Amino acid sequence: MPEIYSKYPMVKYLRKEALPTALCPGCGGGTVLNAFANAVDQLKLDPRDLVVVSGIGCSAWIASPYFLADTLHTTHGRAIAFATGVKVGLPDKKVVVISGDGDLASIGGNHLLHAARRNIDITVILVNNFIYGMTGGQVAPTTPFGAKTTTTPYRNIEHPLQISETIAAAGASYVARWTTAHVYQLIESIKKALTVKGFSLVEVISQCPVQFGRRNRMKEPAEMLRWFLKNSVPISKAKKMSPEELEGKFVIGEFVNRQRPEFTEELNKLIDEVQEHFGLKGGDDV
């Protein structure tokens, strides 16, 4: 192992044989990986108790191949569907999904919405870089109004999906949004998401200087980070602002933190009720 990695305290959570990463220089994926590893470390979670699921795209690589735990690298848009199956089959495992906005909120948007509605006990870290990065920089449902992409070369005329607000309204137990310029807050929210009972979402606004930044006059990663900081608005302040004032802003903070019945617990209660009704012993077929 190169000496540079041995000096990184979170390297024990990484697959050393997969380093260095294939992420583009300046990509926010490394920041998200670091934040997740720090959250796991601070909570003293055993990686053997984790199952980390990803879909397809640049952000899906954060979990697989780089994080050292049992991982599922699944088909495009279906990470949450796979994670739901894992949680129902192995309810004692801590199930985490890490993937991008194109994978989770576009192609997999239906799964995201209904997992939140069911309030199944999985944690989703959704990396939102406003674009389909791996496939060439096409417009996505999260692309800001007016932004340029390969498929909107003049400007995007659609307004972006507000992921955190939508998932909070759908019924999730915990929802937060931060940017890669708010690392300490991000780590704390990931820790909360990993410990809350029910569906939790941490949306991470992340830089993609290669596909998004260079087409929108932000070729350097630092320029995008400054853009995040300049346009981030705490949720407490955002509540007092009009939609016009919030145009082009990133509302950050915790959107919801509440207790609701959790899907797998309710499912197992139902199984017990049915078994009792029919006089079946535990483990017998219904």
Q: What is the per-residue pLDDT across 217-234, written as a single tens digit (0 to 9) for each?
A: 999 999 999 999 999 999
Which of the four pLDDT bands, split at 50, 70 and 90, describes residue 7?
Answer: confident
H and E: helices and strands count for the chain: 11, 10
Give CA separation, 174 vs 71, 111, 181, 194, in Å: 23, 17, 21, 10
Query: Average of pLDDT values for 169-181?
Result: 98
pLDDT digits (tens, 9 = 90+) for 88-118: 999 999 999 999 999 999 999 999 999 999 9
pLDDT digits (tens, 9 = 90+) for 66-94: 999 999 999 999 999 999 999 999 999 99
Instruction: Supply the pLDDT for residue 70.
Output: 96
Which of the four pLDDT bands, split at 50, 70 and 90, describes residue 286?
Answer: low
For residue 69, is it left (φ>0), alpha (ψ between -120 and 50) or beta? beta
Which residue pairs, CB below 8 angstroms and at least 24 apart, start in 246-254?
Answer: 247/145, 248/144, 248/145, 248/146, 250/177, 250/179, 250/205, 251/164, 251/165, 251/177, 252/177, 252/178, 252/179, 252/182, 252/185, 252/205, 253/176, 253/177, 253/178, 254/174, 254/175, 254/176, 254/189, 254/192
Indicate if the pLDDT at residue 4 is higher than 80.
no
Indicate if the pLDDT at residue 1 is higher than 60.
no
Higher pLDDT, 202 or 6: 202
Residue-range domains of the chain with CATH: 1-278 (3.40.50.970)
pLDDT digits (tens, 9 = 90+) for 21-67: 999 999 999 999 999 999 999 999 999 999 999 999 999 999 999 99
Spatial distance between the Cα atoms of 88 and 273, rounded to a whole number of angstroms: 17
